[in-house]
Structure 1
């Protein structure tokens, strides 16, 4: 470790609210930098394969954003117990992700070199973000921040040795990986050219599909162009990524413009509050829901006006229409498959989709390892039941056609077990009733109405019945919609 790094590490803690890393949480520039970092992560063959097979970033990007943000908050908490618990959870999550890519090459989300590369992209993108926005980091600050990122890697897997000790060594390592290991992966292409073009509306704007489609049609290509222009030139060349004329100036302008947010009064920008408001469902009893409802009403009026002035056609935003449901309180089998079962957005149902559901539920409930394993096991049994009953062509997965044809006649034996295990995991005090606090831990929405109709809480039979009604009856407008169906 260099002298500068040692001094920087001695001056301030490597975790907590006073770190350089924490300073970026509420920085709007970080939105651009995190997209860049995600593309560089996805360009790594191991990480790209894991993302394509297991991630929900295509079908549920807003949920993925919220969970990633909360995880990073925990990992940089000043409380060692919080960091250790989150690191253990992440390690269990990644240990369940392994397989082979489209070329038959094995991947493992616990691969030490791949995990180091994730941290490396975050650090490099933070440095790039500051440089492009006209606020380059001095060497001392950069070394302090690098020490924080290496400490993050050490907290996650117990050894930061996969990243060089010095900054000089890091830049050599980074350039080598970019030039020799990164590829034009499917995951990187999805992020650059599909994700933003088809990004579903957040809950706040789900009632204004025309307005969302119009804004996305403009913003999507701009974000893509800015991201491509900010990537290392050797990777752009190897991946054949075209840089449109004027993209470099557009990139510089985007970073400079977002950097002006530093002149806003302190407290005006809070990333956690922005993300939570965007993802508030219409029925939420969060105090901010009234403000969100007023914004949603204005968005609907603006959307109606936009349709009058410039009709966008009936097929402009199928994703937003799907998210709104049928309007009849029920989904068709095809809609339920697309919105709920196909969590990874690849058009098929297989184990990674149900594992994603288990992962979301475990994350919300902050389960310990034994409880988490029971929930995963219950979902695995459900998958085996679905595969045996619905996979008629024997390809190891279930298509929407196979599901729609046979699902109505499927006896939900394993699904009942999933509901019972979920009830036990939610009922933290084990008293046989889910109270308001326990309910909020799972759903975080609209419990006041439900509590009033169930005389103070949910018993096992009511809870199981509600879960089965959603999963089997395909009902909309339930507490499970923001949990499993919305983006």
Structure 2
């Protein structure tokens, strides 16, 4: 008799949490390259590409979008079953609000299980590819385990089995078919490759240092684009007409190898949680003393970077503005600047419902709202959009251009916007005592009370909250807590 060893399938409980293969990849520097590659492959799907173009904030607010994605993945693959169920319900509600038609009148729906299966497929395949390109290919058992984890991810979302092939052997023909028959050179793909990388706004840590960021982006943007294109399947590159730059494959392999070597750095340097903190420059309300100490260190680091940026401007031969009397920095945005920084959340040059929906989505995410409160907030924003559309859409095309907005220079503080402020106050006031305390404030803004916010008893009243919100949304004031929340990249 011959003994045949059959590997035992992973236990269901081990598919999530710190023992999962995904958890190990999540803190792997190579995964940053894999995530970019997976995002491009997602955007090449015509239905996903249309949804991204119409609804996503990845152009105007890429760092905020990245942070929210990382936090969501942490919740879905973490060890807490209740947190996973809550996040899955939140994602399903978010996807249910994303539907429409593309430029060729083809419908898209973010709840389509076939579309969600392709999103998971790109994450799995790009994780496998990142290991191969960095000279550390996965063995069969590890690939099987990772594939089972992604299946469990779809199951946690409530998707019925069958849309993602059940076995790894069946996955590869499915993937080849999608690449060769379904993917297209979509507008979303072109935006990512040829606009986003070249015009990427500064992350929070470098905000206010345009010279430093512009110098880094001028080099890094094209490199990231070339590395990403070179890593895509060759058959798709040819069919989509993506350029093959000489030396790009060598550059790609070098980038993956270099990222792979980073695994020898101290473990606490590579934690994704540290990246999410850098992307917001704020700490959650339950921060312990160690986290608050890191916040102080980060603030000091940013101060040094500002001084370095000032020195760089002194030694760089850029035109120097004529000298004159010192002026205080402006406290108000122009109408054009306010439109671009705050109202046009999707970055398409127009104000329409997806822009206000993205505001509602970001606020709901910050507050971690349940279904009833989230729905009330979306409904309040929908009422505001109808009010804005009636007042500003002079040509009747269903959206508001920058010119229409600037020509009217409206006072936006109408009844509907006041309703948005009141609903947001109620959502933030978790204990319902009609005041926002320090912890509730930090939950929304991820920072402590400002000097002018709290009253003598350390509370933020409804009247003061509504007034400040309206001042930001209609008065276009700078340097408010809403700037990093709604205007930050």
Residue number among 357, 381, 395 corresponding to 2:397 in the alignment: 395
Question: 1: CA distance between counterparts of 2:368 and 2:354?
Answer: 20
Answer with 174-183 or 403-412: which moved more: 403-412
Question: 2: CA distance between counterparts of 1:448 and 1:400?
Answer: 32
Residue pair 2:392, 2:405 contacting (<8 A) in 1 also: yes
Residue number among 467, 474, 484 corresponding to 2:486 in the alignment: 484
Residue pair 2:57, 2:347 contacting (<8 A) in 1 also: yes
Residue number in structure 1 paired with 2:18: 17
Answer with 46-55 or 150-159: which moved more: 150-159
Residue number in structure 2 paired with 1:79: 80
Structure-to-structure mapping, 1:81-480, within 5 angstroms: 81-280=82-281, 286-311=292-317, 327-447=329-449, 449-450=451-452, 452-453=454-455, 455-480=457-482
CA shift digits 1:304-351 (9 cap, x unpaired): 343344446799xxxxxxxxxx93111111111100000000000000
Answer with 7-16 or 100-109: which moved more: 7-16
CA shift digits 1:175-227 (9 cap, x unpaired): 00000000000101111111111110111111210010000000000000000
Q: CA deviation at 1:104?
A: 1.1
Residue pair 1:201, 1:212 contacting (<8 A) in 2 also: yes
Q: CA deviation at 1:229?
A: 0.4
SS at match of 2:8: helix
Q: CA deviation at 1:115?
A: 0.5
Q: CA deviation at 1:25?
A: 1.6
In structure 1, list runs of 5 or more residues that go unmatched.
Answer: 316-325
Root-mean-square deviation (CA, aligned residues, Å) is 2.2
CA shift digits 1:21-48 (9 cap, x unpaired): 0111211111100000000000000000
Residue number in structure 1 paired with 2:324: none
Question: 1: CA distance between counterparts of 2:452 and 2:254?
Answer: 49
Report how many aligned residue pairs link the two structures.
Answer: 474
CA shift digits 1:267-299 (9 cap, x unpaired): 2221221231242169x9954343223322332
Q: CA deviation at 1:455?
A: 2.7
Residue pair 2:282, 2:446 contacting (<8 A) in 1 also: no
Question: 2: CA distance between counterparts of 1:362 and 1:411?
Answer: 21
Residue number in structure 2 paired with 1:323: none
Cα 1:410–1:219, aligned 2, differ >3 Å: closer, same or farther? closer
Residue pair 1:76, 1:152 contacting (<8 A) in 2 also: yes
SS at match of 2:464: helix
In structure 2, list runs of 5 or more residues that go unmatched.
Answer: 322-327
Q: Does 1:27 align with 2:13?
A: no
Answer with 11-20 or 196-205: which moved more: 11-20
TM-score between the two structures when normalised by the length of structure 2: 0.93
Residue number in structure 2 paired with 1:66: 67
Question: 1: CA distance between counterparts of 2:24 and 2:208?
Answer: 34
Moved over 4 A (4+): 3-6, 312-315, 450-454
Cα 1:255–1:421, aligned 2, differ >3 Å: closer, same or farther? same
Answer with 154-163 or 121-130: which moved more: 154-163
Cα 1:12–1:381, aligned 2, differ >3 Å: closer, same or farther? closer
Answer with 458-467 or 175-184: which moved more: 458-467
